Amino acid sequence: MSEILKIIKERHSSRTPFDREHPPAKQDLLQILEAARWAPTAHNMQNFEIFVVDDKKQLEELGNVKSKISEDFLRENYQQLSFSEEELLQKKVGILGTMFPPSWRTPADWSKVALESEPSSLDQTIKGSPMLLIVIYDARRRAPASEGDVLGLISLGCVMENMWLTAQALGIGFQIMSVFSGDSVEQEVKKILDIPEYMRIAYAVRMGYPISKPSKLQRVRRDMIELAHHNRFDDKGFV
């Protein structure tokens, strides 16, 4: 197996708390940013910028920002869940439901959760990370001939993957935090970091070194015969 394919297969989300006193070294951070700089983007627009946040006061301010679970999120999240490892292995897509609170896995509870639960702070998502990367883009621009700026969004995904694989190769924990792009959270984060109104947050990343060994989760992927076609749609597998 080639080294790059090995890194791709080992890449994973680090969901455990990080050591607050052990940020990634500057030379490692520079390699991660360099990987982002060379990510492919539609028409070479490079329509992204990256905030590096490692100031403890700013991290504390960001951690105090509140977010609330919506019923729409719970419904859409539920559609991706399996409720046993056996079911997950059979589906080969999605995630294991035991990662979430019981109320998130019970449709009858969703309205109550959305209405009555107290907003949670971003600190519960940041989990002690000593460094955040926040990827932003200029919402006034879009890739040519790309309705909804699909090509621009794909480009932001390429930036994400380049950084993630580099972090994986360096042994640095990495997790995407999509909550930063939610409307109310985004506005608060932009105030704290003085981000112009026309810039949008694509996603944020927590980076660091786990303080405990993560529990081993079942990882699944579809078989090649389910995703590859050879010349014709009805000729599947390419093996």
Give the count of domains, the chain: 1
Res 237: pLDDT: 77
Res 6: pLDDT: 95
pLDDT digits (tens, 9 = 90+) for 55-90: 999 999 999 999 988 999 999 999 999 999 999 999
Provide the residue range defining the domain that includes 168.
3-65+121-208
pLDDT digits (tens, 9 = 90+) for 7-26: 999 999 999 999 999 999 99
What is this structure's pTM? 0.93
Question: Residue 156: is its pLDDT beyond 90?
Answer: yes
Question: Residue 215: is its pLDDT beyond 80?
Answer: no
The answer to whether residue 103 is domain-embedded is no
Helices (H), the chain: 3-10, 26-37, 56-63, 71-78, 85-91, 110-116, 123-126, 150-170, 183-193, 224-227
Res 32: pLDDT: 98
The enclosing domain of 39 has a CATH number of 3.40.109.10
Res 42: pLDDT: 97
Question: Residue 214: is its pLDDT beyond 80?
Answer: no
Question: Residue 177: is its pLDDT beyond 80?
Answer: yes
Task: Work out the average pLDDT over 96-105.
Answer: 91
The answer to whether residue 203 is domain-embedded is yes
Contacts with 135 (C-beta within 8 Å, 6 or more apart), sequence order: 48, 49, 50, 51, 156, 159, 160, 201, 202, 203, 204, 205
The answer to whether residue 173 is domain-embedded is yes
The answer to whether residue 106 is domain-embedded is no
CA atoms within 13 A on the CB side of 73: 12
The answer to whether residue 85 is domain-embedded is no
The answer to whether residue 221 is domain-embedded is no
Average pLDDT, the chain: 94
Res 22: pLDDT: 96
Res 212: pLDDT: 86
Res 1: pLDDT: 65
Does 35 or 182 have the greater pLDDT score? 35
pLDDT digits (tens, 9 = 90+) for 184-210: 999 999 999 999 999 999 999 999 999
The answer to whether residue 198 is domain-embedded is yes
